Amino acid sequence: MRKIDLTNFQVATSETARHINRRIALSIIRRHQPMSRADLARRSGLQRSTVSAIIGQLIDEGWVTEGASPVSGRGRRPRLLHLNVERAGILAVDLRPVTTRVALAGLDARFLMQTAWPTPGTPEEFASEVARTVAAFRKTDPGTVYEGMGVSLPGRVDSAGRLVFAPNLHWRPVDLKQLLESSVGLPVVLENAACACALAELWFGRQPDDVRHLVAVTVSEGIGVGMLLNGQLIHGSDAMAGEFGHVTLDEDGPPCSCGKRGCWEQYASNSAAVRYYQGLLGGAAAPAEPSASAATLKFTDILRLADDGDAYAIETLERMARYLGIGIAPLVTGLAPQVVVVIGEITAAWDLVGPIVLDVVKRRTLSSNTTQIVPTDLATQPRLRGAVTLVVQQHFGAPNVA
């Protein structure tokens, strides 16, 4: 028999109910604004008096504004409710092994300021650099109220905020949440970049409302996978679910930063592409060891070279696309998502890469498969937008309510 764990048990108080109703009201306004109080009561199923109390509080706190309404045919004109997107400044951090980007955004994930710097070698230096950036933002715009900070990172963080697995970052396990919160003085939410991107697709992406099963694949220095199934992010034991980048394709393949050989990301990541291209230049068809001088040539150089018609660069991207398909196919068959979104610089070459990915997936999956595989628009800065979503979702009920 399953027992209820009484040490970790919360009774629903009237305070809990108020909190939930408030989040639902905010979500409905976010989705249907501008809207009247009557419309909010109708859509939420809440009593008019409850709606009035919640709206009074949300207006007092600056989350919602009540503005002039369009002219209606006759009768009293209702004043319409809007979400005050400038109410809260959300700090978003996209931590990557080479570069970290920090931005300030509104509730609508539009970026107001941003900057980037080389990622330091230790978590302590990183936290100090983040704190310096936040101080500079505050100086530029002292009027903004900072609501919190979201960090999307190339690894896995346990429920306590401890960085437990980040082989491409080469940092020791560390309580990154506590370190950042004490440096910045704000609540911090950490999440794997692919998981954050999966959430952002639901909140700010162009997916249809009925999407509840979505897989995000971030292709960068490594490969990350975020799984949103039944509308929930899947974290698994020790928060390690989604490490498909380290699924072995060939036990005798190139060594990986995780200590094994032949992981998927050793064939389909940006770093793998750079090594392969360098191998072609050096006359070797096989990819070189990861220690090759990857610093001199960047993945974006290969994209540019391919665009200019460089045969080796095109061959490199075509190979990368095949391996992306090889890794995405089992995700499609095994998880049956409605959509797989691909995130990363590679999406800039989707005209070349996309058809190869789709062809490989089609050949390797069930013929009944209907999963869409789509690139995410780089212009939306998906990893940063993911970091914004980590904070935004704490204040709202769900992305697509009522």
Which stretches of the chain bind Zn ion, using CB under 5 A?
246, 256, 258, 260, 263
Nearest to 28 by CA among 107, 83, 77, 73: 83
Minimum separation from the CB atom of position 246 to Zn ion (A)? 4
Minimum separation from the CB atom of position 258 to Zn ion (A)? 3
Q: What 3 state SS string does 5-28 have?
A: CHHHCCCCCHHHHHHHHHHHHHHH
Minimum separation from the CB atom of position 114 to Zn ion (A)? 31
Minimum separation from the CB atom of position 245 to Zn ion (A)? 7
Cβ burial, residue 186 (10 Å; 0-12/13-18/19+):
middle
Instruction: Calculate the CA 128 to chain-centre distance.
Output: 23
Let me know the angle formed at the C-alpha of 100 by 167 and 107, rounded to the nearest 5 degrees: 115
Minimum separation from the CB atom of position 270 to Zn ion (A)? 15
Let me know the angle formed at the C-alpha of 141 by 138 and 146, rounded to the nearest 5 degrees: 55
Which of 219-231 are b and which e, b meaning 16 or more Cβ less than 10 Å from the residue's Cβ? Answer: bbbbbbbbbbeee
Closer CB to Zn ion, 235 or 246, in the complex: 246
Closer CB to Zn ion, 30 or 246, in the complex: 246
Closer CB to Zn ion, 157 or 263, in the complex: 263
Closer CB to Zn ion, 54 or 263, in the complex: 263
Closer CB to Zn ion, 218 or 389, in the complex: 218
Helix, strand, or coil here: 161?
A: coil
Element (H, E) at 132: helix 123-140
Give the bridge partners for 19, in sequence order. none
Q: How many helices (H) and strands (E) does the chain have?
A: 12, 15
Residues 347 and 303 sit within 8 Å (Cβ to Cβ) = no
Closer CB to Zn ion, 171 or 203, in the complex: 171
Minimum separation from the CB atom of position 343 to Zn ion (A)? 19
Quote the DSSP letter at residue 120. Answer: P
Minimum separation from the CB atom of position 256 to Zn ion (A)? 3
Minimum separation from the CB atom of position 244 to Zn ion (A)? 10
Write the single-letter amino acid at 28: I
Nearest to 151 by CA among 380, 391, 381: 391
Quote the DSSP letter at residue 142. Answer: T
Closer CB to Zn ion, 32 or 260, in the complex: 260
Nearest to 320 by CA among 217, 242, 241, 243: 217
Tokens of 3: 């027992």
Alpha helices in 185-225, H assignment, sequence order:
193-204
Tokens of 118: 């080389």
Q: What 3 state SS string does 374-397 have?
A: EECCHHHCHHHHHHHHHHHCCCCC
Closer CB to Zn ion, 248 or 400, in the complex: 248
Closer CB to Zn ion, 288 or 398, in the complex: 288
Minimum separation from the CB atom of position 33 to Zn ion (A)? 45
Minimum separation from the CB atom of position 252 to Zn ion (A)? 14
Closer CB to Zn ion, 83 or 272, in the complex: 272
Residue with tokens 């979400």: 83
